[in-house]
Structure formats: C-alpha cells, structure tokens
Structure 1
Amino acid sequence: MDSAAIGTFEAGRGRLASLAYRLLGSAADAEDAVQDTFLRWQAADRERVEVPEAWLTKVVTNLCLDRLRSAQARHERVAGAWLPEPLLEGDPMLGPADTFEQRESVSLAVLTLLERLSPVERAVYVLREAFSYSHADIAGILDISKSASQQHVHRARIRVAAERPRGGETDPASARRIVEEFLTAATSGRVERLVALLTDDVTAVSDGAGLSKRLLEYRTRERVAAYVRAGFKPTPAKRRLAGGSPSIHIALVNGSPAILAVIDDRVVGAVAFEVRDSKVASLQGIAAADRLGRLNEAWRQHEPDTPVINAW
C-alpha cells in the first residue's frame, strides 16, 4: 500500500474509532473493528473508491453491526452481564463533543440504554445524533432506504427518551461538587443526605465487580441509597478483593464525573454519575478488570488530582 493510501486511512482513524466505540461500547472491540477496516482498505481496489471517508465509514459500521449480531454479543447483552467500557477524559476515542447530542451519545448512561435498541437502530441513532450524517448518507452506509433511516432514528429517539428524562445540562464544576457531596454522604453514613441528592427516578447499575453473571440494578431513591451506602462502606473483605486500600479520586469519565478507586496507580473500580438538575440521576459501577484496561492506560499517563480520600 502506498503512503498516500495509508495517510488517507490514518487521517480518518480517530473518527472511525470513535464511531466504532459508540456502536460497540468496548474500546478493545472498536480497535479490532478499525484494524479490520484497515485490512479491507489495504485489499480494496482503491482507484474505484470515489469518496474514501464514505467507504471507510460504511465498512467500519457494517463490521460493528456484524459484531453486534454475533452469537457471543447477543448472549452477553441478552444475559444482562454487560456494561460499556469507561474512558478517561481526553481519550481520542470519545470523539466529537461540540454539541449536547454528541456529548450525550458517549455518556455511559446513554451507551447502556443503546443496548436496548436493535443493531440497526443503534447504528442509525449514532450516525445521526453523534456524527450528523444525513438520512441519505445513512441509507447508503446501511443499504436501507432513506425513509427506513428516518423511521429507525425516530423509534430510537423515543426509546432513549422514555428511559432518560431531560433536564438542564449541568456544567462540569457543578457536577463535580454534587459528586463530592454524594461521596461525603455515602462514606459518612448520612443516608438522609444521600437520599436527598438523588432524583426521584434515579437508577443504579453495577457489574458486581465482575463476580455476578448478571448486572445488579437498583431503582427508587431508598434502594439506590442503601446500595451505595453498602458499597462505599470499607471492609477487610473488600480491601482483600481490591488488593489493598485504594485512594479515591474524582475524574471525568465519558464526559461525566466519576469516582475512581486507585491502588498503586491502577484503577480497580469506577462509578460514573449522570447529574441532572443538581441531583444524581444515574450511577454505573464498573469493576471488572477487562472493562478497565484502556482507562488504566490513560490513568498512568495523566497527572491525577489530589485524592479526595487518601486510603479508603
């Protein structure tokens, strides 16, 4: 392959990776899809490719759809044992974040909701909401009609909105302050204050540190508060499971504030928050090691803030 063809691909690699991550919810799977796209680009008759960006987008999108439709992916998602892979702020795989829709499309809360869509609905939603493709372009990428694209995105928006009441977007500084208050209430045992910081429709989802075959889900403020209080209460058993006594940091993950538990510069757990109208609307707790690999790589390369708790 000549240098020009390689340069064309590399110029679009970041966008392809960001698209694949939104479709698959896994950085590792997204990297594999991008690499497979490169191999197809390498083998293609490139002189017949009129618009390389469109060709590459179509290939990576359909490779992602194949993965979403695979037996293993269907089993994981139907079994409810899957949460998106969190990414640290600044990770290029997070992609465009200029509009509210783009920022929202990569939040862990929305990525979790997108699991309830069909693969095609998910693809149309991501292409339209996060990358602003026209319905005509989406139709060409997915080999569907323009009207089918419009119908898919309409259904996807309704399903996402039904599970995700809208509120005012909270600025990062305010969201961090609310999470700091939340952490103080959770670790001090102030259950009443903890409940007051939760929205009426709050939800919490956890992978059970990778030990459960199903996701653990909680609804209602009282149940979420009880789960959080139990989860944030340090015990010798939890320290043994984690491999020590972690320091607790607050960072941005997928554009939202998150609490990270860190031992020897290794993130052993992450709790991401969605803040709406100055309250916590959802939490996603991820501690399975295979979901924290890329976040750990980024964590080791960045200069963290002073921990809010030195030893939990």
Structure 2
Amino acid sequence: MVNTDDIARELVTLRDYWRYAISRFNAAELSYGHGTTTAVDDAAFLLLDSLDLPIDTLDPFLDARLLTPERKLLAERIEARVSTRKPTSYITGHAYIQGIRFHVDERVIVPRSHIGEILFNEYGGEMGSSFLPDPMSVESAVDICTGSGCLAILAAKFFPGAAIEAVDLSPDALEVAKINVAEHEVEHQVTLYQGDLFAPLAGKKYDLIITNPPYVDHAAMDAYPAEFRAEPAMAHDGGVDGLDLVRTILAQAADHLNPGGGMICEIGTGREILEEEFPHLEFLWLQTAEAEESVFWISAESLGVEV
C-alpha cells in the first residue's frame, strides 16, 4: 500500500498527479469502459472531476500548484482506483453524458448509453431529426430501465412540454435517480416508478419509449474484469444471449405507444439475432461514435399500432 501522505508531499502540480496516475494505472493494468477508454483519459477524468474542474479542459490547469487538501484528495483517489479497481465514477461520485453531470454510486450502473449521444446529435442541429419526433410534439415519454435516471432527465430537457415517466426494477437505483431528478430540477416533469419493465404502467401510452435495458450475455459477464463486476449485476444481465429483456420489451411496446410514436432501444451486439427472430419488424439501426449496430429506432406502426 502506497503512503498517500508521502505522495501528497512530493507531488505539487496537476501535471505531477496526471503523470503519476497514468503510471500507476498502467502498472496495475486497470480496465476501462465507463466513459473513458485509456489510462490517460481515466486519469484526467479522475483528477478534473475530483477538483470540480471542467472534465474536457486539462491543459490550462496542468501546471497549477495544488493546495495541500487537494493534493491529499488526489493521492487518496488515485490509490483507491488502483487498490479497489472500482470505476472512477464510483470514486468521484459523478458520471457525464455529453458533458452533463449526474450523481452515481454503487447502487447503479455507471451511465454510458449511446442513446444520450443520439439525442444530442439528432436534436442539436437546425434541421431536426430524420426519425425522432419533433420535440414540441412529444407530450409523453417513458424511460424503461432508467437506472440513475439520466436518460429520463435528458428527455425532460429535450421535450419541455412532455410528462416523463421512468421505471426501474431496483429500488436502490431509483434512490439515485431521485437524487439526479432533484439536482436537475425536473421533479415537476419526471415521475419515477419501481417495477418490472411496463408492469407499473398498466393502460398508459406514450409518444416515445426510451430504453437501455440490461443486454449483456452470460459468457461476457463471466469474463468481466473487476471494474465491471463492481456494478450491480442485474444492470448487466440480459440472459444467456443478452436479449431476454429486449424481447419482452418488443413484445409489450405496442401496448404502450400512441400512433405516430416509436421506441429507441440500446441492445449491444444482438442485431443479427433480433433481425432473424423478428423479420417482420423494421429496425432502423443508428450509428454512434463507437458503434453502428447497438441502438435501433422502431416506429409504433411497425410494432403494430394502428393509426
């Protein structure tokens, strides 16, 4: 065990801690994938978020001399990342989607959905989306398997006139979602429900369904490194082939969609399986920065909703 007091005395600038963290992370052969992909990026995220600095702006601060409490905090958090192998977001208490910060802890999976990127890309330009509904026309939306509540909160921001509902099976996850809903001041717009998929929503219909359900297959979970094992297993477990919950959602979605609506769903790597099992459905596969076949859009009409 490294003496963090010694480190805090010897290292003075942010550059010192960044170099030190990268070396420690590489030597420990840490794993990434919770918003960062390399030791360099993970170290930068840990340092900047711990100091409440912009997480995408490292250079201006590199040679800043840190206060003694800041140095001690960084030394302790670098050591915690190495010794516990927990994702950095659990250590700092925050995760980000497109620069928007959310509270996270070990009650929820660290949010990293491709859907957030898609919402920003589709609604961030002047032309509007080619497939998602006009934001001002959406009066209701639901986030199934909401976890920390991040996608429901983003939906509230993109659809200002919509009532947003969010469901999760885990009461612990909903406690975290409640924190985020309050911090983003959308309590008037977002309502949280505890239950299994659509079960708490009997009879309710929506213009938009958003869902990022557990979709990891058992073989992949068995091979997980420590960082992924630190997250709640139920937030990953999609069954033997990863698509158990996706199948159930597809089977039930039509009962909860208004005509003209649709669903955006993240599934991981199961495109070929879904297309073979559901040849009658018109999946529109959406490209993101890191994946081309992980998220689909499907219209209410394709699911059998009559106009």
Asked if Structure 1 and Structure 2 have the same fold, meaning a TM-score greater than 0.5 normalized by the shorter chain, the answer is no
Higher helix share: 1
The bucket for the TM-score relative to the shorter chain is: under 0.3
Q: What is the TM-score normalised by the length of structure 2?
A: 0.26
The structure, 1 or 2, with the larger RCO (C-alpha pairs under 8 Å, 6+ apart) is: 1
Q: What is the TM-score normalised by the length of structure 1?
A: 0.26
